[in-house]
């Protein structure tokens, strides 16, 4: 894939890596980047060979600074008229923005965020849709939309108060001020902090561990945890029972215990 593209998309050994690649614009989300990200996620959802996704950014200046204030936001407010096919797709295909932020789009494969720097606005909104988050020491997190007369609209008004204490979520949303990686860790918004030079290896090591597990089981875990959020215990237990039935009927569920008893690595087929 060309290194000049705004989104790099690679697959290796069952692990897909998506990289925001506009370092000159602090990896801001342009219409083209949003469309390419939406398309890549759709491909990943359908590709049985992909078991885990890593999402990161190029360089060490920013993970993603959010929607491009010169290209994307003016287009969406009507201050700029569409000029390219990417512009027209962003305006005419509402699922592009939703899918690029994993909002209203089912992706049951685990997504690991490797946050290499400041994570702002739409970049943070996408991170809130990921499952596991590793941050470099210089990472910061903010939803500064209110400072521009805007609001977060890619899931944060719903997701953030569910993932961190509501009072902290309200402070971030209403002031637009950033918090440090240490504050994000203390709030439970990220899993761990590592030195910048260790970030991608930490993400890859974790991705490999997940990819080695039974894909049917892994995907049912994610599907059920997300679906059960906010429902009653009884309804959640029904979802868990349905997931158990699907997993127990799989070839992988027979292979795992058999491999353990035979003292060999399991060979999971994802079925």
Indicate if 145 belongs to the active site. yes
Closest CA to 51 of 8, 3, 109: 109
Among 93, 145, 171, 182, the active-site one is: 145
Residue by residue, DSSP assigns the chain as: --TTSSEEEEEETTEEEEEE--GGGTT-B-HHHHHHHHHHHHHHHH-TT--EEEEEESSSS-SB--B-TTTHHHHHHTSS---SHHHHHHHH-HHHHHHHTTSS----S-EEEEE-S-EEHHHHHHHTT-SEEEEETT-EEE--GGGGT----SSHHHHHHHHS-HHHHHHHHHH---EEHHHHHHTTSSSEEE-GGGHHHHHHHHHHHHHTS-HHHHHHHHHHHHHHTTS-HHHHHHHHHHHHHHHHTSHHHHHHHHHHHTTS-------
Among 43, 93, 125, 171, the active-site one is: 125
Indicate if 234 belongs to the active site. no
Q: Which residues are catalytic?
A: 125, 145
């Amino acid at each position: 894939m060309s290194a000049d593209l705004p989104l790099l998309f690679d697959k290796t050994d069952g692990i897909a890596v998506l990289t925001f690649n506009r370092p000159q614009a602090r990896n801001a989300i342009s219409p083209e980047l949003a469309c390419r990200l939406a398309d890549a996620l759709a491909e990943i959802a359908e590709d049985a060979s992909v078991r885990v996704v890593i999402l990161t950014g190029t360089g060490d200046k920013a993970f993603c600074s959010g929607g491009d204030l010169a290209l994307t936001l003016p287009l969406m407010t009507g201050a700029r008229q569409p000029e390219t096919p990417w512009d027209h797709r962003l305006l005419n295909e509402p699922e592009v923005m939703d899918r690029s932020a994993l909002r209203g789009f089912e992706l049951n494969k685990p997504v690991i965020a490797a946050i290499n720097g400041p994570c702002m606005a739409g970049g943070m909104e996408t991170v809130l849709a990921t499952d596991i988050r590793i941050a470099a020491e210089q990472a910061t997190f903010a939803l500064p939309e209110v400072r521009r007369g805007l609001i977060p609209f890619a899931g944060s008004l719903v997701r953030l108060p569910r993932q961190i204490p509501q009072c902290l979520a309200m402070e971030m949303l209403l002031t637009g001020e950033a918090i440090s990686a240490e504050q994000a860790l203390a709030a439970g918004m990220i899993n761990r902090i590592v030195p910048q030079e260790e970030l991608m290896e930490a993400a890859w090591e974790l991705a490999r561990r997940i990819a080695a597990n039974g894909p049917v089981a892994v995907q049912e875990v994610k599907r059920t945890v997300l679906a059960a959020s906010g429902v009653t215990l009884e309804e959640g237990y029904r979802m868990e029972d349905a997931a158990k039935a699907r997993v127990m009927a799989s070839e992988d569920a027979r292979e795992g215990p058999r491999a353990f008893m035979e003292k060999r690595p399991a060979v999971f087929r994802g079925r």
